[in-house]
Amino acid sequence: MTSRLRLTPFPSLQGLLLSLLLSFSLSLQAAPERHAIATAHPIATAAADQILNAGGNAFDAAIAASATLGVVEPYGSGLGGGGFYLLRLVEDDGSVRHLFVDARETAPLKAHPDLYRDEGGDVQRAPSINGALAAGIPGLPAALVHLAEHYGKLPLSQSLAPAITAAEHGFAVTTRYQALGGFRLEAMRSDPETARLFLRDNEIPAEGTLIRQPELAQTLRLLAANGRAGFYQGPVAEQLLKGVQAAGGIWQQADFDQYRIIEREPVSFRLGDTEVISSPLPSAGGIALAQILQGQQHLPATDYASTARTHHLVELMRRSYRDRSVLLGDSDFVDVPVAHLLSADYAAQLARQIDPEQATPSASLGEPQLFSEGNNTTHFSLLDAQGNGVAATLSINLPFGAAMTIPGTGVILNNEMDDFAADIHGVNEYGLAGGKANAVEAGKRPLSSMTPTILDSPDQLMLIGTPGGSRIITMVLLGIEAARQGANAEQIVTRPRFHHQYLPDRIQHESDTFNADERKALEALGHDLHEVGRDYGDMQLVIWHKGSDTLEAASDPRGVGESRVEAAAP
């Protein structure tokens, strides 16, 4: 990363030692003494800020942000879903460690590889997208309790209070709500409770319409009062199971009893003096970032915005997503050669395959295998005054999940079962590729692109992430690229985006990513370019410049989020 602290080189040994000492001291500086927050909605940002100002730490604030986002972004996350939390923990002695909290949904215990096949053996897409059979076992409620019990300073009831208030008082419909609701309108109309809560006269509400969720407020109160038992046992659990089973779903109490949060070691690798800490399986993100960023080190140096650099990145994306399609899945269920895939030697091998003058047809890399992934989640990044940080990406998969809300609970079901490879040879809605490693299996966690990531160097700390389905990984990659070129937080979140995912074999991009000459040059290399017709992503970013002790936070202008940096003390 480009530092904002310029060190003048000294010719003497004394000067060299002084420089090394200063660099070492910066690496140990673990407290910005202020806090910074970026979330996808102003009400969630205010909730996290409220908890930090009340004496909570980053993990208490993460609970507040998570629960509140689930209220005000019912299209992106919620108690009926799950997600990943990447934690930065500052110990009492000033040392720093990182931890990945896996709150991904699990397949119900009655699930099996042929769950979505009809009597004729054909895979039926609709049951994995809409309704009760599409829902995995939620992990978010367990994650909120886990964070409070193991890492927070405040009682869960205090951290959940802003979300309860938001559910009771309501939030105003935004243009983003309208757009994502419009994408799922027919499915929402088909469920009376979803239509009652989130539509008006069976139509998308007008901008500014107040959406209140008193049943969800009560569910949050029970979670706050009783912890895990408030959701996975008792009246809420009974209502959830009754509603799911009545609608043809396969949830049972044993699913709730056996659900567990898993703490995992993050993926970690170095780029010069920068440590990249990212998401391990069942996220494909950390492995992909390691392959692409390390592979880039073995390719000829290119200008940042050049066609050659775009070509190199696309070719590395192509190969990484090919590995994802064939090899990656829940490592608690399948044997994945993680160490090999993360190694610098393997990244160099991928780089050596690249022809600098010609795009590689994806079909030449092997037999295609297909799977899908929902494209709407949410993300937040925050850092407290002690240097503790959280980058978290949460999801219910498609907008408004399975478009089914269980009466009496306010809980919208996820449709994360669609992230499994229901048909490892068939074409799907998003054109993503996947194999047997990600097949449906009881208790298994579906593969995900959610990639909360932290970059830490002697002079700078960055927490980054975004929603966006299969494009999450490449958005985070481009954000890291921009940061390493010295871009500020606002420039990073606004950077135009492009993406390649092996299949379909084309560069997907926003409308303003390439000019006419750049398009022509890429096409001359054999690339097929496809403008996606809309902007995508909703990146949330926090940067701490350790040398100058300044904080930046930025929310993607493509969304409706808000970032805050606590004012410096007078």
What's the token pair of residue 516?
């006419």
Residue 260 sits at φ, ψ, to 5 deg, of: -135, 140
Whether 81 maps to a domain, the answer reads: yes
Summarised one tens digit per residue, pLDDT across range 528-553 is 999 999 999 999 999 999 999 999 99
Active-site residue (options: 174, 219, 377, 378): 377
Question: Do the annotations mark residue 449 as ligand-binding?
Answer: yes
Whether 228 maps to a domain, the answer reads: yes
- As a residue count, the chain comes to 570
d(CA 539, CA 559): 8
Q: Which amino acid is at 416?
A: E
Look up tokens 């909290």; give the residue.
Answer: 101
What's the token pair of residue 494?
């606004």
Question: Do the annotations mark residue 469 as ligand-binding?
Answer: yes
Q: Which residues pair with 264 in a beta bridge?
A: 100
Q: Are 253 and 422 in contact (CB under 8 A)?
A: no
What's the token pair of residue 441?
């299996």
Q: What pLDDT does 488 receive?
A: 98
Q: Which residues pair with 509 in a beta bridge?
A: 498, 531
Please report which helix (H) or strand (E) contains residue 554, including its range: strand 550-555
Q: What pLDDT does 31 receive?
A: 86
Q: Which residues pair with 38 in a beta bridge?
A: 381, 563
Whether 405 maps to a domain, the answer reads: yes
Q: What pLDDT does 568 receive?
A: 76
254: exposed, middle or buried (Cβ count in 10 Å: 0-12, 13-18, 19+) = exposed
Q: What pLDDT does 425 receive?
A: 53
Look up tokens 């954000």; give the residue.
Answer: 479
What's the token pair of residue 468?
């966006």
Whether 448 maps to a domain, the answer reads: no
d(CA 39, CA 539): 9
d(CA 405, CA 1): 45
Q: Write out residues in the chain with pLDDT < 50, as ranges.
A: 1-28, 426-433
Whether 132 maps to a domain, the answer reads: yes
Q: Total structural domains in the chain?
A: 1
What's the token pair of residue 307?
């066609």
Q: Are 341 and 291 in contact (CB under 8 A)?
A: yes
| pLDDT above 70 as % of the chain | 91
Q: What pLDDT does 436 receive?
A: 83
Residue 500 sits at φ, ψ, to 5 deg, of: -140, 135
Question: Do the annotations mark residue 330 as ligand-binding?
Answer: no
Whether 400 maps to a domain, the answer reads: yes
d(CA 563, CA 570): 21
281: exposed, middle or buried (Cβ count in 10 Å: 0-12, 13-18, 19+) = buried
Summarised one tens digit per residue, pLDDT across range 426-441 is 433 334 445 689 999 9
pTM (2 d.p.): 0.93
Q: What pLDDT does 40 receive?
A: 98
Structural domain span for residue 185: 38-111+126-263+396-415
Question: Do the annotations mark residue 396 as ligand-binding?
Answer: yes
Whether 231 maps to a domain, the answer reads: yes
Question: Do the annotations mark residue 277 as ligand-binding?
Answer: no
Verify whether residue 378 is a known catalytic residue.
no
- CA 358 to chain centroid: 32
Whether 77 maps to a domain, the answer reads: yes
CA distances from 548 to 26, 151, 287, 300, 307 (A): 10, 29, 32, 33, 35
d(CA 548, CA 534): 38
Q: Are 475 and 464 in contact (CB under 8 A)?
A: no
Question: Do the annotations mark residue 202 as ligand-binding?
Answer: no
